[in-house]
Amino acid sequence: MNSKHRTLPTVSAEWARKWPDAPALIDRVTTWTYKDLHHESQRRAAAFRSIGASRGTHIGLLLPNRPEWLACAFGAWQVGAILVPLNTLYRPRELAHSLRLAEVEIVVAENEFLGHDYRSNLAEICPRLFGGQAAGRTRDLPALRRVAFSGPDGDWAAAVAAAVEAAEDDGPVHGSDDAAIFFTSGSTADPKGVVHTHASMLRAAENVGHRLGLDNDDRTYGYLPMFFNGGLVGVALATLNRGGALLLQDIFSPKEAIRLMETHGCTVFFGWPHQAEAIAGHPDFRRENLRLHKGPGANAPWARSLLADDHQCVGTWGMSETGPMAACTGYDDPLEVRAGSHGRPMPGLEIRIAANDGSHAPSGTAGEVLVRGDSLMRGYYGQIDGDAFDPDGYFHTGDRGRLDDTGHLHFLGRLGDVIKSAGVNVAAAEVEQALQQHPDIESAYVVPVPDRIRGENVAAFIVSANENFDRTALLDHCGKVLATYKVPRHFFELEPGAVPTLGSGKVDRSELRRRALDLCAGKEAK
State which residues form the domain around 455.
418-525
Residue at 163 is within a domain? yes
Q: Which residues contact 2 (CB under 8 A, 6 or more apart)?
A: none
Estimate to the nearest angstrom the gap between the alpha carbon of 87 and the chain centroid: 9
Closest CA to 59 of 80, 79, 41, 82: 82
Residue at 506 is within a domain? yes
Residue 95 has a pLDDT of: 94
Residue at 116 is within a domain? yes
Q: In CATH, what number is assigned to the domain containing residue 469?
A: 3.30.300.30
Closest CA to 351 of 319, 313, 396: 396
Segment holding 117, helix H or strand E = strand 116-117
Burial of residue 252 (CB within 10 Å: 0-12, 13-18, 19+) is middle
Residue at 457 is within a domain? yes
Q: In CATH, what number is assigned to the domain containing residue 175?
A: 3.40.50.12780
Residue 505 has a pLDDT of: 57
Which CA distances in Å does 470 have to 30, 317, 440, 467, 474?
A: 47, 40, 9, 9, 7
Residue at a domain's end among 164, 197, 230 = 197
Single-letter amino acid, residue 397: T
Residue 137 has a pLDDT of: 39
Q: For the packed helices 67-78 and 34-50, what is the interaxial angle rounded to 10 degrees?
A: 60
When divided into structural domains, the chain yields a total of 2
Residue 489 has a pLDDT of: 94
Question: b/e per residue, 367-398, with b = 16+ CB within 10 A?
Answer: bbbbbbbbbbbbbbbeeeeeebbeeeebbbbb
**526 residues of the chain, pLDDT tens digit each:** 444 568 999 999 999 999 999 999 999 999 999 999 999 999 999 999 999 999 999 999 999 999 999 999 999 999 999 999 999 989 999 999 999 999 999 999 999 999 999 999 999 999 988 876 554 334 679 999 999 999 888 899 999 999 876 554 556 789 999 999 999 864 445 789 999 999 999 999 999 999 999 999 999 998 899 999 999 999 999 999 999 999 999 999 999 999 999 999 999 999 887 788 889 989 999 999 999 999 999 978 778 889 988 999 999 999 999 999 999 999 999 999 999 999 999 999 999 999 988 899 999 998 999 999 999 999 999 987 667 899 999 999 988 889 999 999 998 877 766 788 887 878 787 898 889 889 889 889 999 999 888 889 999 999 887 878 788 999 999 999 999 999 999 999 998 778 887 654 567 888 999 999 999 887 655 5
Residue at 505 is within a domain? yes
Residue 1 has a pLDDT of: 47
Residue at 42 is within a domain? yes
Residue at 57 is within a domain? yes
What is the rounded CA–CA span in Å between residue 30 and residue 482? 33
Single-letter amino acid, residue 290: L
Residue at a domain's end among 147, 179, 197 = 197
Residue at a domain's end among 151, 181, 197 = 197
Residue at 317 is within a domain? no
